[in-house]
A and B are shown apart, each in its own frame.
Chain A
Amino acid sequence: MAGSTLVLPSAERRTYSPWRETWRRYRRHKLAVVSVVLLLVLVAAVVLGPFLWRVGINEIDFNARLEGPSLAHPFGTDDLGQDILARMIYGGRISLAVGLAAMLVSVIVGTLIGALAGMSRGALGHALMWLTDLFLSLPQLPLLLLLIYLFRDGLKAVFGPEGGIFILIVVVIGGLRWMPVARLVRAQFLSLREKEFVEAARALGASRTRQVVRHILPNAIGPVIIAGTIDVAAAIIAESTLSFLGLGFPPDTPTWGRLLYDAKDYLDIAAHWALFPGGAIFIAVVAINFIGDGLRDALDARKVI
């Protein structure tokens, strides 16, 4: 194939910059493109929502308890007559922020450990991989619950009820999800560090740090981006699960999971209360997963599309 392109440089097959090429390949995945739009709408709604929908999240109105969707309350009201749309906008900010922040934690930790394990040729690499396997066999949700249970009060005292729980949840979710990233990065490093271009860099006298940062890491970043995308979805689910079990954010912080937790005892009379936040979690997660799928197609250069 390479030979034929040399002989016949076809006019249609132009070369693009890497990012443009990625976008060209990404566009082929229709559902992934739709998902980007959906996610952007969702993000815009939670970021700009409070400026457009000026109903307080704690405005109690006992005359409008458990009402279904109406013009005054597009998503209905809960058992205290609070507006569910306003609460979902507020909660969405937290849910999405937790997802992003936990992803950053897991990607940074995973890349660091994977890179160390991939570059070391001795006991350190083995030890780090043993640690990774150990973390992979930890039961995540029980441990997550245990950590929250044990450290909740301490952090609450230091950083305040919302800030403390936010830090705890982000660190714990991220700290229990770095293993796939570490494995991916290590596998990439092991093959990349033997490649000719790295050898060339080494021959030119590039330091170890420069080899890693300038030459190896940029080539290993594709799978990390994909894993990171999926991690956002997983972190959103993890946070909602905690809130749904009543062990996440404090009761007056209406994250999407918390809204479901409050709604689950009123399913027979106020189904809308559960359906809207549940639907929001589902849309966010499915959109992020499809984006990850599209990125997989776009960033895997071996795949011909």
Chain B
Amino acid sequence: MGQYILRRLLIAVPSLLGISLVLFIVLALAPGDPFSELATNPNVPPEVGLALRAKFGLDDPIYLRYLHWLVAMAQGDWGFSFVSRINVDTLILQRLPTTLYVIGSAQVLALLIAIPVGVYAATRPYSIFDQIANALAFIGFSLPTFFTGILFILVFSVTLDWLPFVYSTDIKATGIKWVGEQIRQAIMPVMVLGLFQAASMTRFVRSAMLDVIRLDYVTTARSKGIGQTRVIVKHVMRNAMIPVVTLVALQLPAVFGGAIVTEQIFRIPGIGSLLISSILANDTPVVMAVTFVFACLVVLFNLVADVLYGWLDPRIALR
């Protein structure tokens, strides 16, 4: 197992390097130049601009620039935000917990919906329940998150006036009331993201269950006289959940996409809305860093999924 984890880690490093290379090439190919403002600013003499370019290594060959950038990123020197006037890493660290909290709760909600519904639908394939669940799942992942978000605001905030639609960071309450408000304002974003995830997950769970439920060992378990619930939970689900883990991890890039949109709609101060506001404000260091953080998170969770996969199915780890 230890060896397996090590091997997975060694695979994760090249993909991180690959992603960083892609990001850097994109940045290097892009027209425009961080110092273009200096060049056009009449108050800055041209030789100062040139000296600055040389100091920051902008005239170096591209592989040297990549190496410098990579070393700086690895050392935690992520640059300085032009707009917020603080270091990029501090800025991201302030915002990251909110994003992880929303995404995490949404994933939990999605699993809580998808596993029971998918399992129940798979035990009764083509029944009314299965067909309704299937149709709802289809509708669920065809509804873009920005539209569900707007519909939720329309129903729960504008019409019913139950939930706030702007996420606030400084809630004026203490103790249990503060916790209550925190949960209340997170309900809509988490629902939007969670239901979207649940829709595609339900389909994964159902088809994974159907693949396993037909196997001979399940029939054997049944013929031994084990009850239906026990067969499903102990025998079928255990094996059916293995591919689901990978599929959930593969969905993560889409989850982050959904998180960016949700954060933007509900004005949640996470890294997704940070990305949008930095793009609108031309704050390149922050844009690059946030994109890289998203990429790292994807690689990290893929790694976690691989390790879980090896733990759930020891045959994988031995290979």
> Contacts A138-B298, A139-B298 known; A149 to B150 CB distance under 8 Å?
no
Q: Is the interface of A mostly helix, strand, loop or mixed?
A: helix
Residue of A145, A154, A260 near B146 (CB, 8 A) is: A260
Give chain B residues whose Cβ lies under 8 Å from the Cβ of A263. 150
Determine if B150 and A138 form an interchain contact, defined as CB atoms under 8 angstroms apart.
no
CB of B52 within 8 Å of the partner chain:
no
CB of A281 within 8 Å of the partner chain:
yes
Give chain B residues whose Cβ lies under 8 Å from the Cβ of A260. 146-147, 150
Residue of A154, A267, A286 near B150 (CB, 8 A) is: A267
Give chain A residues whose Cβ lies under 8 Å from the Cβ of B139. 286
Residue of B15, B151, B253 near A140 (CB, 8 A) is: B253
Determine if B31 and A153 form an interchain contact, defined as CB atoms under 8 angstroms apart.
yes
CB of A189 within 8 Å of the partner chain:
no
Query: Closest CB-CB distance, B307 to chain A, in whole Å?
Result: 16
Determine if A139 and B302 form an interchain contact, defined as CB atoms under 8 angstroms apart.
no
CB of A237 within 8 Å of the partner chain:
yes
CB of B13 within 8 Å of the partner chain:
no
Give chain A residues whose Cβ lies under 8 Å from the Cβ of B19. 134, 137-138
Q: Per-residue 0/1 for A137-179: is the Cβ within 8 Å of any B Cβ (1 yes, 0 no)?
A: 1111111011101110110000000000000000000000000
One of A58-66, A77-85, A107-115, A241-249 contacting the partner = A241-249
Determine if A151 and B31 form an interchain contact, defined as CB atoms under 8 angstroms apart.
yes
Residue of B31, B257, B261 near A154 (CB, 8 A) is: B31
Q: Is the interface of B mostly helix, strand, loop or mixed?
A: helix
Determine if A137 and B147 form an interchain contact, defined as CB atoms under 8 angstroms apart.
no
> Contacts A141-B260, A151-B31 known; A146 to B287 CB distance under 8 Å?
yes
Give chain A residues whose Cβ lies under 8 Å from the Cβ of B27. 150
Residue of A136, A150, A237, A286 near B138 (CB, 8 A) is: A286
CB of A271 within 8 Å of the partner chain:
yes
Bound CA span A130–B275, Å: 28
> Contacts A154-B31, A245-B261, A289-B142 known; A140 to B18 CB distance under 8 Å?
no
Determine if A133 and B146 form an interchain contact, defined as CB atoms under 8 angstroms apart.
no
CB of B276 within 8 Å of the partner chain:
yes
Query: Closest CB-CB distance, B297 to chain A, in whole Å?
Result: 8
Bound CA span A145–B287, Å: 9
Q: Per-residue 0/1 for B146-187: is the Cβ within 8 Å of any A Cβ (1 yes, 0 no)?
A: 110011011000100000000000000000000000000000
Give chain A residues whose Cβ lies under 8 Å from the Cβ of B15. 133-134, 137
Q: How many A-B residue pairs have CB under 8 A?
A: 133
Bound CA span A66–B121, Å: 45
CB of A185 within 8 Å of the partner chain:
no
Bound CA span A31–B265, Å: 32
Bound CA span A55–B292, Å: 46
CB of A194 within 8 Å of the partner chain:
no
CB of A278 within 8 Å of the partner chain:
yes
Bound CA span A95–B139, Å: 20
Closest to B297 in A: A139
Chain A residue total in the interface (Cβ 8 A): 45
CB of B143 within 8 Å of the partner chain:
yes
Residue of A137, A268, A293 near B302 (CB, 8 A) is: A137
Determine if A147 and B26 form an interchain contact, defined as CB atoms under 8 angstroms apart.
yes
CB of B128 within 8 Å of the partner chain:
no
Closest to A283 in B: B142
CB of A257 within 8 Å of the partner chain:
yes
> Contacts A244-B146, A268-B158 known; A142 to B31 CB distance under 8 Å?
no
Give chain B residues whose Cβ lies under 8 Å from the Cβ of A267. 150, 153-154, 158
Give chain B residues whose Cβ lies under 8 Å from the Cβ of A53. none
CB of B299 within 8 Å of the partner chain:
yes
Determine if A264 and B265 form an interchain contact, defined as CB atoms under 8 angstroms apart.
yes
CB of B318 within 8 Å of the partner chain:
no
Residue of B146, B260, B264, B298 near A137 (CB, 8 A) is: B298
Bound CA span A55–B257, Å: 36
> Contacts A145-B275, A278-B147 known; A137 to B299 CB distance under 8 Å?
yes
Looking at B22, B147, B276, B298, which has the most chain A CB atoms within 10 Å of its CB? B147
Q: Per-residue 0/1 for B33-56: is the Cβ within 8 Å of any A Cβ (1 yes, 0 no)?
A: 000000000000000000000000
CB of A282 within 8 Å of the partner chain:
yes
CB of B290 within 8 Å of the partner chain:
yes
CB of B256 within 8 Å of the partner chain:
yes
Determine if A286 and B154 form an interchain contact, defined as CB atoms under 8 angstroms apart.
no
Residue of B26, B138, B146 near A146 (CB, 8 A) is: B26
CB of B295 within 8 Å of the partner chain:
yes
> Contacts A149-B279, A151-B31, A247-B279 known; A142 to B256 CB distance under 8 Å?
yes
Bound CA span A194–B302, Å: 33
Closest to A240 in B: B144
Give chain A residues whose Cβ lies under 8 Å from the Cβ of B108. none
List residues of A whose CB falls within 8 A of some B CB. Answer: 31, 130, 133-134, 136-143, 145-147, 149-151, 153-154, 233, 237, 240-241, 244-247, 257, 260, 263-264, 267-268, 271, 274-275, 278, 281-282, 285-286, 289-290, 293
Beyond contacts A150-B31, A286-B139: 10 other A-B pairs, Cβ-Cβ < 8 A, are: A136-B250, A141-B261, A142-B256, A145-B275, A145-B287, A146-B26, A146-B288, A241-B144, A241-B261, A245-B276
Name the 5 nearest CB pairs between A and B, nearest first.
Answer: A141-B257, A150-B30, A154-B31, A139-B294, A286-B142
